[in-house]
Amino acid sequence: MNGGALAVEVAGLTKRFSAKRRGRQWLTPWRRLPPIEALRGVDLAVDKGELVVLLGPNGAGKTTLLKVISTLVRPSAGRAMVLGRDVTRFGPEARRNIGYVLAEERSFYWRLSCRDNLRFFGVLEGLPARAALARADELGSLLGLTELMGRDFGSLSTGQRQRMAIARGLISDPPVILFDEATRSLDPGRSERLRRIIRKVLVERENKAVIFATHDLEEARVLADRVVLMRDGRVAAEGSYADLEAQIGSAFREESSGEEAEFRRLFPDLEVSL
Ligand SMILES: Nc1ncnc2c1ncn2[C@@H]1O[C@H](COP(=O)(O)OP(=O)(O)OP(=O)(O)O)[C@@H](O)[C@H]1O
Ligand SMILES: [Mg+2]
């Protein structure tokens, strides 16, 4: 079904969050805060077997975009399609087709073992119990979790939890996988191996569509077939890392130029960068 459709297609996607005033709200109740425009008309198309890196400074809208695609956030306007189906109308189907590795992982059961956690999520996504267990163990060994499978999730280190989150995102073998800063708390060897798993196994061998959000330039350079540079809720540029290098550099420098000026004002003697 939907064999010819793009894996992910996003058109005119807009997301406004209403800003809530906290604290002394009762003093100025008539002054409404303007909404936060996290996404302002984003277009994006990702094919099967393609690895797209969403690159952009803090607050550019990367996480919001991934959350809309994975049905965790409803768009204000525009649409997101997964394998040709609108995610707001076919939520359960979209969720079955998507594996999502979140930046902040909060869904595991802390008092259950790692194995039981993964088996539970596998069953939740429709795998028979036996297959879920086999898949949990297979991913566990791929991600270096074998020794930890019998331990409570709550006892794991930050990087070990992150590897569990990656295993969970892959448990049902979905055709579309979204990674939000997936290597953030991994050590260098494991980051490099995850990038290799993504590129060589998921994309090249299994023909999955992968969107990988990061603000790490080096990671974008080594990983991306195509970079989608986001700024202020928009796609600022799109192309190979090499083609966009100058634009990427200036996007990140300009983004924090105010903070840099303040640093120089406060510490004029420390101007030389490290
Ligand atoms: N639940 C929310 N309510 C209000 N504003 C939000 C909410 N989530 C995100 N935003 C705002 O939307 C904008 C985009 O945020 P988003 O998390 O998508 O950025 P990002 O590109 O993932 O940044 P980072 O690199 O820091 O993870 C930011 O200005 C953020 O403050
Ligand atoms: Mg983010």
Helix or strand (DSSP H, E) at 178: strand 176-180
Q: What is the pLDDT of residue 34?
A: 85
pLDDT band at residue 115 under the 50/70/90 scheme? very high
- Does residue 99 have its Cβ closer than 6 Å to ligand 1? no
Mean pLDDT computed over 189-193: 94
Q: What is the pLDDT of residue 238?
A: 97
Give the count of beta carbons closer than 10 Å to the beta carbon of residue 151: 14
CA nearest ligand 1 atom 3, residue = 17
Q: What is the pLDDT of residue 223?
A: 94
Would you say 151 and 140 are in contact if contact means Cβ atoms under 8 Å apart? no
CA 6 to chain CA centroid, Å, is: 19
Give the count of beta carbons closer than 10 Å to the beta carbon of residue 202: 21
Would you say 11 and 79 are in contact if contact means Cβ atoms under 8 Å apart? yes
- Does residue 61 have its Cβ closer than 6 Å to ligand 1? yes
Q: In what order do the strands lie in the sheet with 8-17?
A: 36-46, 8-17, 77-82, 85-86
For residue range 201-239, list pLDDT tens digits in order: 999 999 999 999 999 999 999 999 899 999 999 999 999
- Does residue 64 have its Cβ closer than 6 Å to ligand 1? yes
Q: What is the pLDDT of residue 260?
A: 85
pLDDT band at residue 23 under the 50/70/90 scheme? low
SS3 85: strand
Check pLDDT > 90 for residue 165.
Answer: yes
Check pLDDT > 80 for residue 20.
Answer: no
Ordered structural domains, the chain, with CATH? 8-18+34-268 (3.40.50.300)
